[in-house]
Amino acid sequence: MLDIKELRKDPGGFEIKLKSKDPDTSLSPLLAKDEKIRQLKTQVEEYKSRRNASSKDIGQKKQKGEDVSQFMKDLSHLSDSIAKIDQEIAQMEADLLHALAVLPNIPMDDVPISPSPKDNVCIKEWGEKPVFDFPFKNHLELNEKLHLFDFERAAKLSGSGWPVYINLGARLEWALLNYMLDTHRKNGFIQVMPPLLVRPEIMFGSAHLPKFESQLFKIRDEDFQLYLIPTSESALNGLHYDEMLSEDVLPLKYTAYTPCFRREAGAAGSQERGLIRTHQFNKVEMFCLTEPSDSARVYEEMLASAEEVLQGLELHYRNMLLTTGDMSFAAAKTIDIEVWLPGQNRYYEVSSVSNCTDFQARRSQIRYRKKNEKPQFVHTLNGSGLATSRLMVALLENNQQADGSVLVPKVLQRYLEEEIVSLKPTAK
């Protein structure tokens, strides 16, 4: 969430930056409401001062035996006015909070300004696209003989958009998860196993509420009001909700594996079939809390750790600096790592590394204190490290052989408990 005090100082400058992410943004109604609240607060403080003085005066008159009935009526009317204004202020402050809560984060100065993802900037490429001397297949065609996933039985269980991993598919997925967690732990990240359901205030703190309510799965009954996490970022951000941290513990670098749940799952077109976009997928997340002066350095560490995973898997990828219009709601800067999927003939994002500055920390009231200084909000950063569903597609499609088998990257073979160097087609 943005700081209302900063918005007051330069509303024009902030509105220009906000419009680069959301062209419909207008700060005028919000600032008008803020000004009205401040006027009402000044008025109610004057009334309260008058009430206190009147109460004191009435007490003195009573001691002298004077008639105070009219004074008491006036005091009652004044108290009624105060209560009415206080109620009005409370409602207006709730409205102001909501108006602030739906404003996106301010983009950093080095972020390209454009509403279109077509203007994202490629800042790095690693490796090369595979060249096949045979008709290559997409991951669904490969799966017809490899039998790694069962989408038909998954649909019987939960409907479309929910995968079931079978036998070597499940084992390869588990190998991927362990490889990624090992990589991030080696790079100084602390592993966490958070709950998969969190409270509404935790979702608000991570900026998934109120804007993305319709994209979330939730439980609502007389006992529970909880949301299934769309990413472990939500839970990791909530670990230090409403806490005052010592500067000595920063930066805090976390990594977590969780299933992730999202209502939208693309079903339009062959490119979005299979594992490309599903309601449930596995992801290893990185999440960091830092001092503002340290967030740029930690950002590069997160990006390097995500890239190390892909380099170990020997997958061709590129890093894309996202435009203002393509960044997430909470991000001030985002670099997407996109891996090449031959079966789709395009790049797909497998990691998105974002610096959210103090946007989430302000919503979550996560602060730190330096000696003899006022508390400050931390910076939060998040990055996929990585999402496995598209990564699985990349492994299968990039490592396929002419006979329909798929080579298993060396870094994963040690996690498979036996010497499995390739996935071989089998009869069903």
Residues annotated as catalytic are 262, 277, 349, 352, 390
Peptide bond between residue 117 and the one before it cis (omega within 30 degrees of 0): no
| CA contacts within 13 A on the Cβ side of 211 | 17
> How many CB atoms are located within 10 Å of the residue 294 CB?
14
Instruction: Please write down the HEC assignment for all residues of the chain.
Output: CCCHHHHHHCHHHHHHHHHCCCCCCCCHHHHHHHHHHHHHHHHHHHHHHHHHHHHHHHHHHHHCCCCCHHHHHHHHHHHHHHHHHHHHHHHHHHHHHHHHHCCCCCCCCCCCCCCCHHHCEEEEEECCCCCCCCCCCCHHHHHHHHCCECHHHHHHHHCCCCCCECCHHHHHHHHHHHHHHHHHHHCCCEEECCCCEECHHHHHHCCCCCCCHHHCCEEECCCCEEEECCCHHHHHHHCCCCCEEEHHHCCEEEEEEEEEECCCCCCCCHHHCCCCCCCEEEEEEEEEEECHHHHHHHHHHHHHHHHHHHHHCCCCEEEEECCCCCCCCCCCEEEEEEEEECCCCEEEEEEEEEECCCHHHHHHCCEEECCCCCCEECEEEEEEEEEHHHHHHHHHHHCECCCCCEECCHHHHCCCCCCCCEECCCCC
Q: Which residues pair with 423 in a beta bridge?
A: 406
Q: Would you state the structure tokens that stand for residue 143, as one six-digit string?
A: 């799966």
Residue 156 CA to its chain's centroid (Å): 31
The CA distance from 208 to 198, in Å, is: 12
Cβ atoms within 10 Å of 146's Cβ, excluding its own: 23
CA 130 centroid distance within chain: 33
List residues bridging with 256 in a β-sheet. Answer: 192, 285
> For residues 72 and 427, what is the distance between their CA atoms, to the nearest angstrom?
93
